[in-house]
């Protein structure tokens, strides 16, 4: 199946898997079973996936650090009526916790609106980097959802 434990979490290799090529094969079915069992037994797993360039990952994490370095007043502009979908922080019992919700992060327009809220002149570099990263992550998310459905027999026949 291409899995092992890394950092105390089950790691599943998905770099060589593509939905269009592998679906329905023995390898696909084995991976589906492994993903389902990881979710059932551990509640999570680490994806080993080397198709997102290291430079893109490093740049995305750098930009996210910059985002969280913005002044508190600026981050609080990110308001959403849904709980935990806007800015969350300043909790006395978890002082180090902070989050900024960004819905539909693979949609350029949604990310552009987010950046215009937090940066007076927007931030095209942030938009392009985050959207590029999120589109690739969304593809894997969709594949993992399909794997879980297939493992329970709810996928395409």
Model confidence pLDDT, tens digit, residues 125-143: 999 999 999 999 999 999 9
Task: Give the pLDDT band (50/70/90) at residue 15.
Answer: confident
CA distance 86 to 80: 5
If residue 112 lies in a helix (H) or strand (E), which one and from where to where?
helix 108-118
Q: For residue 107, what are the contacts with CB-CB under 8 A and spacing of at least 6?
A: 131
Task: Give the pLDDT band (50/70/90) at residue 84.
Answer: confident
The answer to whether 28 and 16 have CB atoms below 8 angstroms apart is no
Examine the pLDDT at 1 and tell me if it is beyond 90: no
The confidence score (pLDDT) of residue 24 equals: 84
Pick 58 or 11 by higher pLDDT.
58
Backbone angles phi, psi at 56, to 5 degrees: -65, -45
Give the domain ranges of the chain. 3-50, 54-137
């Amino acid at each position: 199946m291409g899995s092992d434990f890394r950092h105390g979490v089950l790691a599943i290799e998905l770099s060589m898997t593509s939905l269009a090529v592998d679906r329905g094969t023995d390898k696909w079915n084995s991976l589906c079973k492994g993903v389902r069992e990881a979710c059932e037994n551990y509640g999570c797993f680490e994806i080993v996936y080397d198709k997102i360039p290291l430079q893109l990952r490093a740049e995305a994490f750098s930009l996210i650090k910059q985002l969280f370095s913005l002044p508190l007043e600026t981050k609080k502009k990110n308001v959403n009526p849904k709980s935990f979908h806007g800015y969350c922080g300043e909790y006395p019992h978890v002082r180090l916790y902070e989050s900024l919700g960004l819905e539909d992060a693979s949609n350029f327009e949604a990310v552009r609106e987010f950046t215009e809220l937090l940066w007076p002149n927007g931030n095209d570099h942030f938009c392009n980097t985050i959207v590029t990263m999120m589109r690739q992550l969304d593809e894997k998310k969709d594949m993992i959802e399909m794997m879980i459905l297939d493992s329970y027999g709810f996928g395409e026949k």
